[in-house]
Each structure stands twice: as C-alpha cells, then as structure tokens.
C-alpha cells in the first residue's frame, strides 16, 4: 500500500522521528537490553569475540564499511538532486509536471531514496544495536510506501509515458545500461552539493572517526553539516521547473 499525500508531505519529519528513536532506543532502558554502545563497536567486539580479528583491527574495518555506505548515500543523493533539482526534491507535495528521465533516472527510478537509505544505514552504525535494527526495518518499509505512493500518483498524472518509463527503468536496483536516449537537462551540481550537505556530513563524520575514534567529534561534524543543509534548503526557491526529458 502506497503512502498518503500527508505522509509524503511529512516524509522528512517521519524520517527524523525514526532516526531519533534509533539513536534514543528507549526500550533499552525499559527492558535492560545491555550496554548502550554504538553498533560499530558492538560489531567489532563480536568479530573479536569469535576470533576473526582483534578489536583494534575489527573496529577500523567496520568504520570503513560504514563510511563506504555513507559514500554511496552521497553519490546517489547528490546525483539525483542535481538532475531532479534541489527545490523539487524538498517540495512538500508530489509533482507530476513532467517525467524526469535524465542522469541517474535513466538507470534507476529512485536514486534519492537509495541515497537516503544508504545515509540512514550509515548513521545506524552510530546507534545502539537495537536502535540500528529498528532503523534497518522501519526506513526501508517507509521508503517502499513512498515509492508505491509516487508510482500511483505519477501513473495517474502522466499516464502512458510514465508506464513506459516503469517498464524501461528498474525501481531500486540500478541497471548499468539504459535504453533511454540521453536528456538535454542540465544538472545543478553546486546547488545539489550544498542542499545534500547532510549526507556529505555523515560521510565526513565517519571518515573523521576512522582517524580520531572520537564519537563526539563525529556527531558534531554531522550536526554542523545538517545545519548547513537546512540553511541552504531554506534559501532555495519554493518551486522550479523540472528539467526537460527525452521522449520514451
């Protein structure tokens, strides 16, 4: 079942609630569910306990995995926002003005949601293990609802061209080769980079943790980048014309 228009309008607030619950993990205090340590440390301890690697080796390996996950989030978020247009990305309602089939949208239908999932998965490495598990379940379910809701809406607004697009481009698993012709739409790289500073901050924070092992420093970097992203998004125009698209 797809998400409602209200869910779409409040999608970032809902994501914020999910992430807050993941970091807070209030059930741990209620049910005495073990020490409150980040997932990345818990995984390193498990690797050490099973004799696979020492903790001093396992922790950097887990941090690298988290940083690579964050890097994937940066690539898909910035790439998708550059071609969709940052103002469209943050718009409060579904837009059916035109079909965007350029850049990453020639290879996968939801690059922004792939990037958002990768970013939240990277953040989950900083959460308590049960909080991370909650995020790993809740975020994909919510994003799936959003995709189903958008597909139903766009199918009604755009019609046959969108149905042709659905057959040509996979939903969430990118296809390297695309049968769609290149678009004339120009990406807005600089605006997309600044608008997606949150995902960049997650990557920078995890990269800094690899060198310093200072969790507080990592969290500060993420919060500063989140603040920059909010400021840039507040300064973006409320609406803009979507880029031109090739015929399908």
**Residue 48 pLDDT:** 96
**C-alpha–C-alpha distance, residues 116 and 208, integer Å:** 21
Specify the pTM: 0.90
Please say whether the beta carbons of 77 and 59 come within 8 A. no
Confidence (pLDDT) at 92? 57
- The secondary structure element, H or E, covering residue 237 is none
Per-residue confidence (pLDDT) for residue 247, from 0 to 100: 32
Among candidate residues 138, 131, 167, 137, the one with its CA nearest the CA of residue 15: 138
E-assigned strands of 35-179?
none
Tell me how long the chain is: 248
pLDDT, position 161: 87
Which phi and psi (to 5°) does residue 38 adopt?
-65, 155
Distance CA 219, CA 125 (A): 12
- Give domain limits for the chain: 5-24+43-235
Q: Are 101 and 121 in contact (CB under 8 A)?
A: no
C-alpha dist (Å) from residue 163 to 6, 21, 88, 180: 24, 37, 21, 14
Tokens of 54: 């020492």
pLDDT digits (tens, 9 = 90+) for 195-218: 999 999 999 999 999 889 999 999
Q: Which pLDDT score, from 0 to 100, does residue 57 have?
A: 96
The closest of 61, 58, 96, 102 to 80, measured between CA atoms, is 102
Residues of the chain where predicted confidence (pLDDT) is lower than 70: 32-34, 91-98, 182-184, 238-248
């Amino acid at each position: 079942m797809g998400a409602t228009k209200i869910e779409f309008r409040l999608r970032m607030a809902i994501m914020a609630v999910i992430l807050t619950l993941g970091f807070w993990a209030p059930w741990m205090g209620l049910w005495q569910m073990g020490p409150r340590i980040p997932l990345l440390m818990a995984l390193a301890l498990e690797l050490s306990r099973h004799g696979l690697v020492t903790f001093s080796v396992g922790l950097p390996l887990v941090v690298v995995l988290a940083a690579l996950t964050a890097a994937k989030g940066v690539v898909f978020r910035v790439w998708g926002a550059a071609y969709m247009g940052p103002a469209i990305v943050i718009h409060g309602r579904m837009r059916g003005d035109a079909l965007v089939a350029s850049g990453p949208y020639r290879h996968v239908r939801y690059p922004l949601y792939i990037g958002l999932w990768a970013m939240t998965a990277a953040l989950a490495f900083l959460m308590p293990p049960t909080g991370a598990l909650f995020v790993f379940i809740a975020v994909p379910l919510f994003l799936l609802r959003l995709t189903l809701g958008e597909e139903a809406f766009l199918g009604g607004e755009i019609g046959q061209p969108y149905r042709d697009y659905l057959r040509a481009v996979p939903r969430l698993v990118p296809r390297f080769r695309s049968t769609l012709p290149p678009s004339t739409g120009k990406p807005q790289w600089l605006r997309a980079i600044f608008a997606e500073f949150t995902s960049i901050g997650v990557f920078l924070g995890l990269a800094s943790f690899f060198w310093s092992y200072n969790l507080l420093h990592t969290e500060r970097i993420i919060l500063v980048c989140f603040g920059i992203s909010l400021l840039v998004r507040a300064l973006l125009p409320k609406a803009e014309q979507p880029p031109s698209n090739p015929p399908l």
